[in-house]
Amino acid sequence: MMNLAPAPQASRNVAPPPSNSNGSSSSAVKSRLCNKYNSAEGCKFGDKCHFAHGEWELGKHLAQSHDDPRAMGPGPGRMTNWMEPPLAGPASSFGASSTAKISVDASLAGAIIGKGGVNSKQICRQTGAKLSIREHESDPNLRNIELEGTFEQIQQASAMVRELIVTVSMSGPAKTPGGGAPGAPAPPGSNYKTKLCDNFTKGTCTFGERCHFAHGAAELRKSGM
């Protein structure tokens, strides 16, 4: 009867085979080859992999340190774990929005606006600019026509306003308060220019110099003159 040598005992240092092959084994010794290392996508764990990347690593002890996820290279198709700083918003175009101011005689303000604002609305509609009439900073006999919009809109609106000023200055309104003919002198003893024009102070008087009410204290007359 042959004496058979006893089978060699497995090394106590060799851990049992890991439960999976995705690099997440907690074995202290690399006892198996990594099946990802020679694949097309490669092993994403690199030196931190718990499996051997070749026969020379079999039985090699793992480094006793916690895995640092920052030390691992990014997985296939994954982005690195960092955020780009927020992009600054686009800088505003220079002159994208501008304002312009045209000073006109206060008596023309109402005619420039037009009855019911017809003229100012037409300018805004055709040019896209915003138009408003404000009190002059220092001269009560003047009004400021303020335009707001792009440079091109303001240019176009300014041209329309100046054309309107010329037209209003050359031809007065078709009628005057009280039904009198345009430009007809006020009859003696009337209330001509004895009261301030309410529409003038609002910038909405459409009669200009032909208005029978005073456009400012300088035009006020005593009653009965």
Domain ranges of the chain: 23-61, 98-170
CA dihedral 58, 59, 63, 69 (to 10 degrees): 40
Encoded amino acid at 67, one letter = D
Q: What is the pLDDT of residue 150?
A: 92
| 197: number of Cβ within 10 Å | 22
At 161 the pLDDT is: 86
Which pLDDT value is given to residue 179? 40
Task: Answer yes or no: are the C-beta atoms of 65 and 28 closer than 8 Å.
Answer: no
Local confidence pLDDT in tens for the 225 residues of the chain: 555 555 555 445 545 555 444 444 444 777 788 877 777 677 878 778 888 877 777 777 665 544 444 444 544 444 444 444 444 444 444 456 788 888 888 888 888 888 888 888 899 999 999 988 888 888 888 888 889 999 999 899 888 888 888 887 776 544 434 444 444 444 444 567 777 777 776 666 767 777 777 777 677 776 554
Supply the CATH classification number for the domain 98-170: 3.30.1370.10
- The answer, as to whether pTM is greater than 0.85, is no
185 burial class (0-12, 13-18, 19+ CB within 10 angstroms)? exposed
